[in-house]
Amino acid sequence: MSYAPAALLAAAEAAGDRTPADMARRMRVPYLAVYRWATGRNAPSPAGLAAIERTYGLTPADLLHEESAA
């Protein structure tokens, strides 16, 4: 599975959240976790995925994609 933050960033922007700090406040999760998700350094944990789904309506399928064999 691979994670790309583009869908999360687009959903946050649509909700008026322009920075990871804005996103963290809205989701009520630590800033550092959101920063790492927004920059693609880490994929969200199951609890993080639940917070994203609850806040922005994105499902894990929207955020995690199968890696294609190259």
Per residue in 9-38, pLDDT tens? Answer: 999 999 999 999 999 999 999 999 999 999
Distance of CA 56 to the CA centre of its chain: 9
The total of other beta-carbon atoms located within 10 Å of residue 36's CB is 17
Model confidence at 67: pLDDT above 80: no
Residue 11 amino acid letter: A
Spatial distance between the Cα atoms of 69 and 22, rounded to a whole number of angstroms: 36
